Amino acid sequence: MSTPADAPTAHAPASDDPTADDPLARERSHLAASRSALRAMREDVESLDIRDVTANWVNAEVLARQIEDRIKALADLSGTPLFFGRLDYLHAPGADRAEGAGGERPRPEAAYQTLHIGRRHVHDADGDPMVIDWRAPVSQPFYRASKKDPMDVGLRRRFGYTGGDLSAYEDEHLSDPAEAAATSKLLQQEIERPRVGPMRDIVATIQPEQDEIVRSGLTGTVCVQGGPGTGKTAVGLHRVAYLLYAHRERLARTGTLVIGPNKSFLHYIEQVLPALGELTVRQATVDDLVAHVEVRGADEAAAAVVKGDARMAQVLRRAVYAHVTMPAEPVVVVRGSRRWRVPAYELEEIVRELLDRGIRYGAAREALPQRIAHAVLVQMERAGEAPDDRVQDAVARNAAVKAAVKAIWPPVDPAKLVLRLLTDAEFLAAHAEGVLTEEERATILWDRPVRSVKAARWSAADAVLIDEATDLVERTHSLGHVVLDEAQDLSPMQYRAVGRRCTTGSATVLGDLAQGTTPWATRTWQEALAHLGKGEGVIEELTAGFRVPTDVIAYASRLLPHIAPDLTPVASVRENPGFFEVRTSESDADVVAACAELLRHEGSTGLIAADARVPALAGALTAAGLTYLSPGQETTAETRLTLVPASLAKGLEYDYVVLDEPRAVVDGEPDERTGLRRLYVSLTRAVSGLIVTHTTPLPAQLT
């Protein structure tokens, strides 16, 4: 590795001879010893005999599964070294920083001054640490310490590796005033490493501003605005891994969820958390969360906008509670020779009290018979009887009480309710009065009657309405933490659907206002947080770009004044200037030729095109004998080309990109601003090189 004068001291192996003076050889032997220690830890677990300690087979099953998970977690991934960094503290760090501090298993590593930082904790036979988990408080200076604030660290060492082996190291003497601060060569190499296969973790090179977000506390919601390639997705995933470490028991109980825009995106990111040892995090799209009905239809944009508007929540609430009818008749309960009468005014008091309590419609409906029975019991006591709980239960189940409850507080089926709102103009008008305009109501009404919930051609936005109605009837289960990626595309009603899945937990919201391509795209993060029910959330901005080369991001940023004028353009931290060319093409064969040209380089290539252009380009690729994948299919050494419809490009990246016909990408959207945003997304997928090909003139905003 070359060592420019102002770079941290970087070293490559002098020879294969592990002499005592060769620091890399010493580190390699520490790596070998750590591997054996990890093997011993695994063997310890594997040799556990649970036959004597479990009383029954159920316990035995549970324990066996726990042991199996532990063995999996202790696996040594051959492709990555057990540690990627080292910290030499000037003084032994205090116990407050020990691995596990803030977490649940304090360990004694605080007594050690030299610590190797890796993906997981490894200890030797005496329990002494050999590798410290990157998430431990004591590891934090690896990501945050600087010349300005060395955090009591004398030496920070970063390792370069090839496969699972250490191949280089780089030292920074943070407390040495004579050594100039400089950017890390190993970080540069890591950023520039070709992309093949699914998304990788960035645990060895998390940057200080990213680390602040990763390690922010479990109780607060964080919203990250960041341009393309600033590491939002990476940061969100590492934050989940961090929270699972710091609050393992609590989150194991409450659960964590990562939400992404579509299946191919989720597939692209699905390896990151398992590589960090976290196997339990669920992934879903918003559509998956609200899948109460089968979605077979699609809305016109205008209808989807109204259905996604937060005012629909008010319409639904009114429609649900309109089912409650104030009692006009008394309830008369006959028991033995006696009749007990709860007058209508008293029933009304009970109903009003339940309405005021703000509990769910369904919960109140369940409480109502007991309340009526209680009123009967009070009368019995007044009459000198001594009824107990069993009597109250019996009264609650009495036919007269049941009939009254059915009349006052009937069951509501959320899907049927939404169906009625969308098909019954009078019903909709009654509940949308003063909330939706007549025109808005007409926009969402279906033009044909529908026989049943099953027969309806529900749209994605309808499913969200059903989810809202379901939550009015029955409280949605809340998780401990939710990561919401590509959030800018959610409608207010979708934010609400996500928000009710973390009412008692917190969220990490990730997005870029400039990449919003839905008609209801988020305008401000404050608004988004309010819809999510997390108005107190903190908004952070990331502006350093790790993906897109300088020339390419500068070109794409020409669109910013037209699509999101208030945002800061991304500043690429890549030193490699990359490759950028705009070409006129005569035919699809020229586009295919550009792909073939880029495929001569190492790594993945994406051909991004307007959705309408995809079939023609697919034909041209096949005619030229070039095999290609669809987004979400994993690139392999044999097939490194993916044909990407512009509508699916969000969140993905390729080493090289051919962007076909920008004009067609813009024209593929209902309005120009959305079109330009789609183009901005498509232009910012390349890591090392971009060729833009066009037959029709480029959009004026680019020239």
Ligand X SMILES: Nc1ncnc2c1ncn2[C@@H]1O[C@H](COP(=O)(O)OP(=O)(O)OP(=O)(O)O)[C@@H](O)[C@H]1O
Give strand pairing partners of 225.
511, 541
Contact between 207 and ligand X by CB under 6 A: the answer reads yes
Tokens of 626: 């070039």
User: Residues 38, 136, 223, 234: which binds ligand X (CB under 6 A)?
Assistant: 234
Distances (CA, A) of 131 to 73, 145, 641: 15, 19, 39
Residue 236 or 362 with smaller CB distance to ligand X: 236
Q: Which of 254, 156, 334 is nearest to 506 (CA)?
A: 254
Residue 144 or 335 with smaller CB distance to ligand X: 144
User: Residues 170, 172, 299, 512: which binds ligand X (CB under 6 A)?
Assistant: 512
Tell me the backbone φ, ψ of residue 55, rounded to 5 degrees: -75, -35
Cβ 129 to ligand X, closest distance in Å?
25
The interface region with ligand X, picked from 199-207, 244-252, 487-495, 602-610 by CB under 6 A, is 199-207
Cβ 193 to ligand X, closest distance in Å?
9
Contact between 202 and ligand X by CB under 6 A: the answer reads yes
Site size toward ligand X (CB under 6 A) is 21
Burial class from Cβ neighbours inside 10 Å (0-12, 13-18, 19+) for residue 11 reads middle
The interface region with ligand X, picked from 73-81, 231-239, 290-298, 306-314 by CB under 6 A, is 231-239
Contact between 170 and ligand X by CB under 6 A: the answer reads no
User: Residues 210, 506, 557, 635: which binds ligand X (CB under 6 A)?
Assistant: 210
Residue 553 or 607 with smaller CB distance to ligand X: 553
Residue whose structure tokens are 């205090």:
94
Integer Cα distance of 498 and 29 in angstroms? 48
User: Residues 80, 139, 205, 221: which binds ligand X (CB under 6 A)?
Assistant: 205
In the DSSP assignment, the letter for residue 138 is G
226: annotated binding-site residue? yes
Residue 144 or 360 with smaller CB distance to ligand X: 144
Contact between 232 and ligand X by CB under 6 A: the answer reads yes
DSSP 426-481: HHHHHHHTTTS-HHHHHHHS-SS--S-TTTS-B-HHHHHHHHHHHHHHSPPPPPSE
Integer Cα distance of 657 and 654 in angstroms? 6
263: annotated binding-site residue? no
231: annotated binding-site residue? yes
| H helices, E strands: number in the chain | 28, 22
Integer Cα distance of 371 and 353 in angstroms? 10
The interface region with ligand X, picked from 8-16, 232-240, 317-325, 403-411 by CB under 6 A, is 232-240
Integer Cα distance of 199 and 190 in angstroms? 13
Give strand pairing partners of 170.
10, 158
Residue 167 or 188 with smaller CB distance to ligand X: 188
569: annotated binding-site residue? no
Contact between 458 and ligand X by CB under 6 A: the answer reads no
Tell me the backbone φ, ψ of residue 155, rounded to 5 degrees: -130, 130
User: Residues 141, 160, 226, 260: which binds ligand X (CB under 6 A)?
Assistant: 226
Residue 262 or 476 with smaller CB distance to ligand X: 262
Residue whose structure tokens are 């591997």:
35
148: annotated binding-site residue? no
> Residue 569 is inside which H or E element, if any?
none
533: annotated binding-site residue? no
How far separated are the first and last CA of the chain, in Å rounded? 40
Residue 499 or 651 with smaller CB distance to ligand X: 651
619-678: which residues touch ligand X (CB under 6 A)? 651, 653
Residue 188 or 701 with smaller CB distance to ligand X: 188
Contact between 572 and ligand X by CB under 6 A: the answer reads no
The interface region with ligand X, picked from 226-234, 430-438, 466-474, 551-559 by CB under 6 A, is 226-234
| Dihedral sign (CA 464, 314, 438, 421) | positive
Q: For the CA atoms of 220, 223, 229, 231, what is the dihedral angle to 10 degrees?
A: 0
Residue nearest to ligand X (CB): 231
Contact between 488 and ligand X by CB under 6 A: the answer reads no
Over its C-alpha atoms, the chain yields an Rg (Å, rounded) of 31
Cβ 649 to ligand X, closest distance in Å?
9
102: annotated binding-site residue? no
Cβ 512 to ligand X, closest distance in Å?
5
Tokens of 479: 């998780």
Give strand pairing partners of 481.
256, 506
The interface region with ligand X, picked from 20-28, 223-231, 339-347, 623-631 by CB under 6 A, is 223-231
668: annotated binding-site residue? no
Q: Which of 272, 271, 200 is nearest to 242 (CA)?
A: 272
Residue whose structure tokens are 């006129």:
584
Residue 88 or 209 with smaller CB distance to ligand X: 209
User: Residues 109, 190, 468, 471: which binds ligand X (CB under 6 A)?
Assistant: 190
Output the known binding site: 226-233
Output the known binding site for ATP: 226-233
Interface positions with ligand X (CB under 6 A): 190-191, 200, 202, 205-207, 210, 226, 228-234, 512, 546-547, 651, 653
